[in-house]
Amino acid sequence: MQCHTTHSRRAFTLIELLVVIAIIAILVALLIPAVSRARSASKRTRAQHEVMQIVTAFKAYFDEYDSWPTGLVSGDDADPEGKPGLEMKENMPKMLRGEGDPPVALTENPKRYPFLDVPVDKDGSIVDPWGHPYKYMMDFDKDGILELQVDQFSTNLANVDVVVWSRGRDGADNNRATFVDNPKNW
């Protein structure tokens, strides 16, 4: 006698497959915003960390040479378009990194100390995680007050020698709502 046992193979039905796919799609839809928020928070944290490194580099420079670095900028605290702050580009990043070509490197950082070690972009600018150069202001006249005016937002920063900020995701200096939220050291 031979026993024949039949094994029936049960396969997934189309409905079951569609339900599983729908559940996976819902989970992915819930996960994407969380990942996006985490990436955004990571960029903000990185920018805040770099802002503090730049401030520390400026203060270390001042402690070493008893003056603020100027690079190729004049003593005012505005860029050529009149916006507050100067951008971290041209000779300033090289000088703070102990690099650069004479005569600026030898006159601004003659000992070639590396005060700063953050990455630079292809143009030699120190940029934030969103690709915008950091901005800075220094108390060149040493009166202990920095006046910062952005759009209708204005503040006097007392007992602050140097301020550094990132323009954030939007890259704008002239929007009070987003400027207040940008990574900065004050």
Q: Point out which residues pair with 137 in neighbouring strands.
A: 163
Query: Strand (E) positions, 88-134?
Result: none
Q: What is the structure's pLDDT at 17?
A: 93
Q: What is the structure's pLDDT at 74?
A: 39
Q: How far apart are CA 147 and CA 157, in angstroms?
A: 6
CB 154: neighbour CB atoms within 10 A? Answer: 11
Could you tell me if 163 and 148 are in contact, meaning their C-beta atoms sit under 8 angstroms apart? yes
Give tens-digit pLDDT for 59-85: 999 899 888 877 544 334 444 454 556
Q: What is the structure's pLDDT at 78?
A: 47
Give tens-digit pLDDT for 17-58: 999 999 999 999 999 999 999 998 999 999 999 999 999 998
Give tens-digit pLDDT for 82-127: 455 677 766 788 888 887 766 655 677 888 888 988 878 888 788 8
Q: How far apart are CA 136 and CA 131, in angstroms?
A: 16
Is the N-terminal amide bond of 183 cis, ω within 30° of 0? no
Q: Is 138 left (phi over 0), alpha (psi -120 to 50) or beta?
A: beta
| Residues with Cβ within 8 Å of residue 163, at least 6 apart in sequence | 55, 85, 136, 137, 146, 148, 157, 184, 185, 186
**Residue range 139-158: mean pLDDT, rounded:** 71
| Domain boundaries along the sequence of the chain | 45-180
**Residue range 145-156: mean pLDDT, rounded:** 68
Q: How far apart are CA 113 and CA 97, in angstroms?
A: 7
Q: Which residues of 35-62 are buried (b: 16+ CB within 10 A; e: fewer)?
A: eeeeeeeebbeebbebbebbbebbeebb
**Residue range 174-186: mean pLDDT, rounded:** 67
Does this model's pTM top 0.85? no
Can you list the pairs that 72-80 forms with residues at least 24 positions away whose Cβ atoms lie under 8 Å?
Answer: 72/104, 75/140, 75/141, 76/140, 77/137, 77/138, 77/140, 77/146, 79/135
Q: How far apart are CA 117 and CA 97, in angstroms?
A: 6
